[in-house]
Amino acid sequence: MTTSTFSEKPKFIEDSAFDLGEAVSFVEQPILEKKNISGAEAVILSLIAEQVEAVFGYPGGAIMPVYDALHGYNDKLKHYLVRHEQGATHAAQGYARVAKRAGVCFATSGPGATNLITGIADAMIDSTPLVCITGQVARHLLGTDAFQETDVIGISMPVTKWNFQVTRADEIAEAIAKAFYIAESGRPGPVLIDITKNAQIEMCDFVYRKCTRVRSYVPQLPIKMKAINEAAELINHAQKPMFLIGQGIILSQAQEELKKVLEKSGAPAASTLLGLSALSHTHPNYVGYLGMHGNYGPNVKSNEADVIIAVGMRFDDRVTGDLKTYLKKAKIIHIEIDPAEIDKNVKTDVAIISDAKEALIALLPKLKQKTYPEWMAEFKECDRIEKEKVLDKDFAPNTEKIKMAEVIKMLSEKTKGKAIIVTDVGQHQMTTTRYYQFEQTQSNITSGGLGTMGFALPASIGAKIGRQDREVIAIIGDGGFQMTLQELGVIMQYEVGVKIVILNNSFLGMVRQWQQLFFEKRYSFTEMHNPNFVKLAEAYNIPAKKLEKREDMSNVLDLMLDHKGSFLLEIVVEKEDNVFPMVPAGASVSNIRLE
């Protein structure tokens, strides 16, 4: 054997052949620098460097150094003292959803941190960017069951996109820079930074650089034109195409691109709960709302479509109903930023793993100008049936008490569909999302994936702080209101001008509805004896009114809407009203019940 045969050997590449570069990369130019400061001050300066405007939090032993440092920066960083840490996360969520930036929370160790978990879980499942900063016992006390020590990293792991424990002051700037980058990029989500008390007290030389890249994390894959072409081919040859749009449209700010794609392709579009307000409800291609209490047309017609284009949505079970009978006639195109969502619930024919906006931009020139008058007419026919069976009943003034639907319809008209509507969880949520005619985007704030009662009041506070220029109306059930009503204190203290509407049916309405329909009317622990909500609001110095009569509704709504500043309106509604249509849990969307 000669040496030359050796060199002809096929070239193999070793696992280590490729240089991965730095684990984390930062912009070279620092935004902010300060020598010899405490870790606590470094936390505050990091947030200032990230141009954070609002922090929602609650102090306690393990985070006191941070609160002490905050004291000196009150003019640069506004902190809102919530009344329970759950309120901090929901307020930060409400803020993030309207401000298009991560919401920020502070909490102390132990119970402070565990109180954040519900909101973090909610943000995780609804893809809301949060940066939560918790205090922790000192490094040397970790694992000793020290006072207010809990394993917050361990507890929050399943519900955070990323979390990290800081034990040294000089780690703070990089950890926070990385936290914002991860929370806001790709599919957004909550992150948590746990900072031991010693790290807050120690001194460090602070240098803040924005994080630009984490080598093990690809926020967004490059678009594959092959998939775009295949999708266009399917859409161009479709007989009954249909778009299913989700929150991805809002998160990627693809509202305009979506409109163009719809207007060119001619296809109808239906929205998920979190996708509501991505497309104006008066847009000619908008055919309604998907899911358990969505509209009749989009639910049944999705099973008749021959091409489904799902954009920035994740086929939640409340949208799909029984998977075995779902979309069986359709070729499925799924545009989604998170590869783990592809084929998770529904098998796709063409997967476009991408940010919604970029995908729609790439798709638009490939589409043929088309219209589907007959297919669109089928949706119109469904609307007619839904009107006859559901809407006419919902809006007929034939009950003694006001019905939720009437309130929402009037509120929608009076605000011209332009308010930010924050809903809690239950019948009022489904009724509001059914009947509020969203005209403006980023206007629907609700707890979708987790269905967290108690979400709306604090979330509306965050939303108002994020968008002072817009009307923010929280619509809440009498049950859910009592889960986080202590946050009225925040509204009072900081004069947050939210309008609060309690739709009081003296029941845990949605659960009662299920008991009526599926448990033979055995109302087990769903009836509620409620406090005097008006007095409660007045105790917090918030003007309030109780509305009981239909004929007063218009005037009272005007009174609330014309009022400058916060206002609480309790509306006594029908006790045993039901939300229809309804796809019973686990049933096919084709078998949606109209009554």
Is residue 27 close enough to count as binding another protein by CB under 8 A?
Answer: no
Task: Give me the catalytic one of 313, 404, 510, 560.
Answer: 510
Give whichever of 297 and 426 is closer to ligand TPP, judged by the CB atom: 426
Is residue 217 close enough to count as binding another protein by CB under 8 A?
Answer: yes
Is residue 143 close enough to count as binding another protein by CB under 8 A?
Answer: no
3-class DSSP state for residue 286?
Answer: strand
Give whichever of 8 and 400 is closer to another protein, judged by the CB atom: 8
Give, as ranges, the residues between 219 and 278 that touch another protein (CB under 8 A). 219-222
Which of the listed partners (ligand TPP, another protein, none) does 12 bind, with a CB threshold of 5 to 8 Å by partner kind? Answer: another protein
Task: Give me the catalytic one of 41, 50, 56, 85.
Answer: 85
Q: How far is the CB of 513 from ligand TPP (least distance, A)?
A: 7
Is residue 586 close enough to count as binding another protein by CB under 8 A?
Answer: no
Q: Is 147 a catalytic residue?
A: yes
**Residue whose structure tokens are 């809990």:** 150
Q: Is 148 a catalytic residue?
A: yes
Is residue 343 close enough to count as binding another protein by CB under 8 A?
Answer: yes
Q: Please report, for the chain, how many H helices and E strands are present, in that order.
A: 25, 22
The Cα 514–Cα 579 span in angstroms is 10
Q: How far is the CB of 134 from another protein (least distance, A)?
A: 15
Query: Containing H/E element for 64?
Result: helix 64-71
In this structure, are strands 472-477 and 499-504 parallel, antiparallel, or unpaired? Answer: parallel
Q: For another protein, how many residues bind (rule: CB under 8 A)?
A: 35
Is residue 552 close enough to count as binding another protein by CB under 8 A?
Answer: no
The Cα 104–Cα 369 span in angstroms is 45
The Cα 519–Cα 334 span in angstroms is 37
In 3D space, the residue among 44, 60, 56 whose CA is nearest the CA of residue 149 turns out to be 60
Which phi and psi (to 5°) does residue 107 adopt? -150, 160
The Cα 293–Cα 579 span in angstroms is 7
Q: How far is the CB of 15 from another protein (least distance, A)?
A: 4
> Interface with ligand TPP by CB under 6 A: which residues?
424-428, 451-453, 477-480, 503, 505, 507-511
Angle between helix 64-71 and 39-49 (nearest 10): 60
Q: How far is the CB of 409 from ligand TPP (least distance, A)?
A: 16
Which of the listed partners (another protein, ligand TPP, none) does 507 bind, with a CB threshold of 5 to 8 Å by partner kind? Answer: ligand TPP
Spell out where 278-320 has E strands: 286-289, 307-311
Q: Which amino acid type is present at position 217?
A: Y
Q: How far is the CB of 18 from another protein (least distance, A)?
A: 4
Q: Is 197 a catalytic residue?
A: yes
Which of the listed partners (ligand TPP, another protein, none) does 420 bind, with a CB threshold of 5 to 8 Å by partner kind? Answer: none
**Residue whose structure tokens are 């955070």:** 160
Q: How far is the CB of 430 from ligand TPP (least distance, A)?
A: 8
The Cα 317–Cα 124 span in angstroms is 17
Q: How far is the CB of 398 from ligand TPP (least distance, A)?
A: 21
Give whichever of 36 and 524 is closer to ligand TPP, judged by the CB atom: 524
How many C-alpha atoms does 78 have within 13 Å on its Cβ side? 9
Q: Is 510 a catalytic residue?
A: yes
Strand partners, 593: 582
Q: How far is the CB of 474 from ligand TPP (least distance, A)?
A: 12
Contacting residue, 34, 51, 157, 256, with another protein by CB under 8 A: 157
Question: Which residues make Cβ contacts (< 8 Å) with residue 126, sequence separation at least 6?
Answer: 93, 247, 274, 447, 448, 449, 450
Q: Fill in the per-residue mask, 288 to 327: x = in contact with another protein (CB under 8 A), - = not in contact.
A: ----------------------------------------
Is residue 28 close enough to count as binding another protein by CB under 8 A?
Answer: no
Which of the listed partners (another protein, ligand TPP, none) does 213 bind, with a CB threshold of 5 to 8 Å by partner kind? Answer: another protein
Is residue 339 close enough to count as binding another protein by CB under 8 A?
Answer: yes
Query: Containing H/E element for 269?
Result: strand 269-271
Which of the listed partners (ligand TPP, another protein, none) does 427 bind, with a CB threshold of 5 to 8 Å by partner kind? Answer: ligand TPP
Decide if 86 contacts 115 (C-beta within 8 A).
yes
Burial label, 272 (beta-carbon count in 10 A; 0-12, 13-18, 19+): buried
Spell out where 290-416 has E strands: 307-311, 331-336, 350-353
Contacting residue, 344, 401, 414, 546, with another protein by CB under 8 A: 344
Q: Indicate which residues carry an active-site annotation.
A: 85, 147-148, 197, 510
